[in-house]
Amino acid sequence: MHRVRFRDPAGSVRNGQWHDDHVSFAGETYSLDEVDVLPPCEPTKIVCIGRNYAEHADEMDNEVPDRPLLFLKPPNALAGHGDTVPLPAGKERVDWEAEIAVVVGKQARNVAAEDAMDYVAGFTCMNDVSNRDDQDREQNWVRGKAFDNAAPLGPVLATPDEVPEDASVELRVNGETKQSSSRDYMMFSVADLVEEITTYMTLEPGDVISTGTPAGVGALSDGDRVEVEVGGVGVLEHDVRAAE
């Protein structure tokens, strides 16, 4: 099942089903043009993973870490399917980063890897929009990663049975493929990540683990149209605009 959060024409937020060209809730059907598609969950935090694909670490002239490299994005970073994401003002390079995102289904603390999938509600698409100007100057990456709308997420929550173990992840900018890889190339699996993260913090229902980006990151420009596609999930689409 593909679950979707949306705002209906009356302004009510609904949790319904996605049917490619329309959404439905309680017997009512709406075209995508009639609704605002919202991020599929409301996380208290987004836990992101750096350098989880060896080729991306290499393209950034970094070593592959010996344990998951964790950083956080707060809820203010969320943006939804179809949104226009404003780029931070005065920055020379703000990059795209396509990622497979995991949505937590129930409270999780000290979870063993073999039990990790019991805590996963499903998967979605994320673009870890990254302000390289400031990321390169700081260690905690707050300016580089946590700015408003820096985490477009969606369009749906796909249940784990719909997303294959070798699910693809691809990013296109203005129709041109820039990133293409799969879960097979992650250095740390979803189960590994759940175990590591919950050793240090409690994950709440709706929290997101963004599992890292493959090689092929690059700079966004005013007016770009971005598509992030994850196998079994679908396509997250958004535009970007330069700050005025």
Q: Could you tell me where the DSSP H helices lie in the chain?
A: 54-59, 132-135, 142-145, 190-200
What is the chain's mean pLDDT, rounded? 97
Residues ≥6 apart with Cβ < 8 Å to 220: 87, 94, 95, 96, 129, 173, 226, 240
Using 50, 70 and 90 to split pLDDT, how confident is the model at 218? very high
Q: Does residue 110 register a pLDDT over 80?
A: yes
Q: Which letter does DSSP use for residue 175 in this model?
A: T
Q: Could you tell me where the DSSP H helices lie in 31-85?
A: 54-59
Residue 108, classed as helix, strand or coil, is: strand
Rounded to the nearest 5 percent, the helix, strand and coil shares of the chain are 20, 45, 40
103 beta partners = 122, 208
Using 50, 70 and 90 to split pLDDT, how confident is the model at 243? confident
pLDDT > 90: what percent of the chain?
A: 98
Q: Summarize the confidence of residues 140-151 as an average pLDDT.
A: 97
Using 50, 70 and 90 to split pLDDT, how confident is the model at 158? very high
Using 50, 70 and 90 to split pLDDT, how confident is the model at 97? very high
How far is it, in rounded angstroms, from Cα 75 to Cα 49? 16
Q: For residues 143 and 99, is the Cβ–Cβ distance under 8 A?
A: no
How far is it, in rounded angstroms, from Cα 239 to Cα 174? 9
Residue 63, classed as helix, strand or coil, is: coil
Domains present along the chain, CATH in parentheses: 1-37 (2.30.30), 39-242 (3.90.850.10)
